[in-house]
Amino acid sequence: MTHTRQSATAFAPGGVGNIGPGLDILGLALDGPGDTVQVEWTDTPGIRIRDPGHPDLPRNPARHTAGLAAQAVLDRAGDERCRKRGIDLTVRKGLPLSGGQGGSAASAVASAVAVNTLLGSPLNRFDLLGAALDAEEGVSGRHADNIAPALLGGIVLVRSLDPLDLVELPIPEELRVVLARPHQQLRTAEARRVLPARVSRATALHQAAQVGAMVAALASGDYALLGRAIDDRIAEPVRHGLLPGFREAKRAALDAGALGSSISGSGPTAFALVCGSDSGERVAAAMSAAYTACGHRSDVRVARIDREGARIVNGAEEDVL
Amino acid sequence: MTHTRQSATAFAPGGVGNIGPGLDILGLALDGPGDTVQVEWTDTPGIRIRDPGHPDLPRNPARHTAGLAAQAVLDRAGDERCRKRGIDLTVRKGLPLSGGQGGSAASAVASAVAVNTLLGSPLNRFDLLGAALDAEEGVSGRHADNIAPALLGGIVLVRSLDPLDLVELPIPEELRVVLARPHQQLRTAEARRVLPARVSRATALHQAAQVGAMVAALASGDYALLGRAIDDRIAEPVRHGLLPGFREAKRAALDAGALGSSISGSGPTAFALVCGSDSGERVAAAMSAAYTACGHRSDVRVARIDREGARIVNGAEEDVL
């Protein structure tokens, strides 16, 4: 009989989805805060959420991405043990709720990785992605631009969801991302409602050209081109009205030397791409000041791309839970 | 007084515009046939077309891209000599008429380069692009996906037309392009009329993802990904009905090992991307056989990417004109 783990804890990073023109198809993972999920066997069948990570998050596992992802992994693994035993989840949210930093995806991915580890790793990364994607779909729509970088790290292009086909893109050495989160909440579902069902052919071709240019810029390390390509004409024009202070913060970021700036995920966090940490600090200060001038407190930080993605954490970190 | 050239001759390659999902924004230049334009000073003011290159092409310089491009270069250069003297153009068409191989762009670019040389090269490449673009617009709409590679060579992404912003993409070593031209003609204007004015957001995002994946594949030399990304859901679905035999030829190309296949420019030429010349020969034979089976004669060839673009030709080639 093989040794069976009693618990496992996984961390998944947050990041930026919908990078500029890459609505639903381009995302990246960032170092710093993320979500952590501890899972452990219990003697009661079923999945329970012991701590959802935030008072506003549901304890119902069918309504929390960590619970949904855990169930999706169990379903895919077909693990017999779960008929007699259950799994308890403890979620620690390092990412803001409805912040536009990929929090629901990070919880899903961390949960999927932790449960898979608990089961002895029956699923490969591809299956884990599918499980996390199903979980994200249950809460905020079927899109992988947060799920994929949260699991894999780096900057990921979602070429196709069905079949799932992901492209991990090169990361320029000096690329930094400034995140500025005004103290507002915006539900993903609300931000999706305002998206146009149809766009003009010209807009579609423009958007495609920008995504192509972004990928080319990442591959060649052409920071200026990367900035020029952050020109989203589908989501940003209809969403910025939902985000007081965003336009001012973006303007301030560009004036302070940002390569480009847009909405992170579906907001309210704004992001700016910069070359180098010093530039990042200047841009972060400028964005913060702009939000303040508009009457909004905000949290800002300068981050590097997380190249590792989700990982099992042990020892001290596990003890904290 | 500086020496003034009496004549100049330039060659510009043909190629593939609208590469797969890259409608209006992605084009490449191919070695082999192209258009050649000889220009020479005459004592009669104005631009005249001595030979339009084909009996079906207009002699009116305001209706031939070579004539329009010559005028656009003169306008941009503001050359005083043209008040007293004129320029005669002799066009040699190496590219098929209305074939979808960038013939009108090649004539425009060759003419622009030749006239610029005649004037002592007052314009830089950027201005030459603008001149050729104006000429192409007069005949088949304002798009640079043939103009840019005809001038610059290689594979070019048009990030923006206004302001003009072009991205020269990496060229995988083994990339070959099969062109199969059935003996049909399709006017660009007619092929453009069938394009939808609006597309669904899902289609737009899909198309953008494919363009991004194509660029990533070119940068990393991932031939399989390049093939998967040749998945155009805007132009090909509405144009293939205008192109008898295309679907069969595409199917045959894929079955014979092509990475991907779609319509070159606005057709009727079909293209297939392949890895290596041997594969190219097999795919070319399969496409030819498929057209034949549909009752269409066709010309097929296997080409490499032309990395040089438009160039001045001298000596023997100039004598031929």
pLDDT of residue B3: 55
Q: What is the pLDDT of residues A139-157, one digit of tens each?
A: 888 899 999 999 999 999 9
Q: How far is B193 from chain A (nearest CA, A)?
A: 13
Quote the CA–CA distance of A308 and A299 in Å, as a whole number: 24
Cβ within 8 Å, pair A211-B214: no
Cβ neighbours of A219 in B, within 8 Å: 170, 215-216, 219-220
Beta carbons within 8 Å of A284's beta carbon, 6+ residues apart: A178, A180, A300, A301, A302
Which residue in A has a C-alpha nearest to residue B235's C-alpha?
A201
pLDDT of residue A3: 55
Cβ within 8 Å, pair B159-A195: no
Q: What is the pLDDT of residues B38-79, one digit of tens each?
A: 999 999 999 999 999 999 999 999 999 999 999 999 999 998
Q: How many residues in chain B? A: 321
Assess whether pLDDT exceeds 70 at residue A318: no
Domain ranges in chain A? 7-169, 175-304
Q: What is the pLDDT of residues B71-107, one digit of tens each?
A: 999 999 998 887 889 999 999 999 998 888 999 999 9
Answer yes or no: are the C-beta atoms of B156 and B166 closer than 8 Å. Answer: yes
pLDDT of residue B184: 83
From the list A24, A195, A211, the residue facing B211 with the nearest CB is A211
Query: Where is A312: in which H helix or E strand?
Result: strand A311-312
Assess whether pLDDT exceeds 70 at residue B316: no
Rounded percentage of chain A residues whose pLDDT exceeds 90: 85
Q: What is the pLDDT of residues A47-96, one digit of tens each?
A: 999 999 999 999 999 999 999 999 999 999 998 888 889 999 999 999 99
Q: What is the pLDDT of residues A200-230, one digit of tens each?
A: 999 999 999 999 999 999 999 999 999 999 9
Assess whether pLDDT exceeds 70 at residue A1: no
Rounded mean pLDDT of chain B? 93
Assess whether pLDDT exceeds 80 at residue A319: no
What is the reported pTM?
A: 0.94
Quote the CA–CA distance of A45 and A240 in Å, as a whole number: 46
pLDDT of residue B190: 79
In this prediction, residue A189 has a pLDDT band, given cuts at 50, 70 and 90, of confident
Quote the CA–CA distance of A106 and A152 in Å, as a whole number: 11
Average pLDDT over every residue of B20-35: 97
Q: What DSSP letter does each residue of A53-76 carry, written as one string?
A: SSTTS-S-TTSSHHHHHHHHHHHH
> A7-169 — its CATH code?
3.30.230.10
Cβ neighbours of A207 in B, within 8 Å: 204-205, 208
Q: Which residue has the higher pLDDT, A241 or A302?
A: A302
Nearest to A212 by CA among B310, B158, B257, B247: B158
Write down the ipTM of this complex.
Answer: 0.94
> B7-169+306-320 — its CATH code?
3.30.230.10
Question: Testing the interface with A: which of B159, B168, B222 to mutate, by most A Cβ within 10 A?
Answer: B159
pLDDT of residue B303: 98
Among A2-6, A160-164, B209-213, B235-239, the range with the most confident prediction by mean pLDDT is B209-213
In this prediction, residue B151 has a pLDDT band, given cuts at 50, 70 and 90, of very high
Answer yes or no: are the C-beta atoms of A301 and A135 closer than 8 Å. Answer: no
Looking at domain A175-304, its CATH class is alpha beta
